[in-house]
Structure 1
């Protein structure tokens, strides 16, 4: 049994180190990438405050975009073209997108009207984007440089464990 919980809210960097350690423990020895993404979405939801959506979009071989993966939050768009919205931009460019005001992002795809800010981090395997981690918040400017560094560290740590 796992009993993960958020840290006391002190040092955000330490909280992200705890998240990565928990993610590696949770996925240790499990080869099913979808099961790992489902548990990771739940872990992120449990350990990070002020989210209204946390999950994955996957790049499936032979497709020209992203397909919804495991998540927690309101129902979401099933397919997102590369370059469309925050997730599609992260996938197309291979770069993290940290958006303080999603309504100001050109082409933003509004799956949940309550979302105000978003952080999308590509998951790279052998230099290729295989998925993105998508976090939405109802708080404007919820994500900062520590969140970017923390979720990028998570993406790097779990890249080999979300094969599908």
Structure 2
């Protein structure tokens, strides 16, 4: 059974608790959309100073909007375009301090100032990306990157 626990440790400990909660929440569920929906809700509840948390999934050679929390978003993103498309094509995390300085940034929400995108790889195959936007510049640091990469590794086991 899923149980919400309070985040009272340091940032690393809180992220570790988040990943523990993710595993408990998704344990035994095989539906990809349900699991991505719960993962986006869990992240949105956990993270502060963010305005969009969600997933883009690979479909027919492009990224297609999946479950998310936030304002309506771009539905399709070509691989290699914008922060999400760059992360997908290069299969690496892209952390952007100021989205207005990122060449080809796709502005789905004018309030977004910084962004982090983590590719989701299952058995070496790209299945999508986790995209998180913030209305404040330089919101995401190395701790966020490391722990969100761990979160994605835990998540893809349930996809």
Place the TM-score, normalised by the shorter chain, in its bin. over 0.9
What is the correspondence of 1:48-63 to structure 2 with a 5 Å cutoff?
48-60=47-59, 63=60
Q: 1:72 and 1:6, CA in 2 relative to 1: closer, same or farther beyond 3 A?
A: farther
Distance in 2 separating the partners of 1:120 and 1:19: 18
Would you say 1:13 and 2:19 are equivalent positions? no
Q: Which consecutive unaligned segments of at least 5 residues does structure 2 have?
A: none
What is the correspondence of 1:52-131 to structure 2 with a 5 Å cutoff?
52-60=51-59, 63-131=60-128
Distance in 2 separating the partners of 1:6 and 1:56: 25
Distance in 2 separating the partners of 1:48 and 1:22: 14
- Superposition RMSD on alpha carbons, in Å? 1.2
Structure 1 residue corresponding to 2:143, chosen from 131, 143, 146: 146
Q: 1:48 and 1:5, CA in 2 relative to 1: closer, same or farther beyond 3 A?
A: farther
Correspondence for 1:161: 158
Q: Which consecutive unaligned segments of at least 5 residues does structure 1 have?
A: none
User: Does the 8 A contact of 2:88 with 2:126 survive in 1?
Assistant: yes
TM-score (norm 1): 0.93
Q: 1:51 and 1:6, CA in 2 relative to 1: closer, same or farther beyond 3 A?
A: farther
Structure 2 residue corresponding to 1:132, chosen from 129, 132, 154: 129
Distance in 2 separating the partners of 1:88 and 1:15: 29
User: Does the 8 A contact of 1:120 with 1:135 survive in 2?
Assistant: yes
Aligned residues: 159
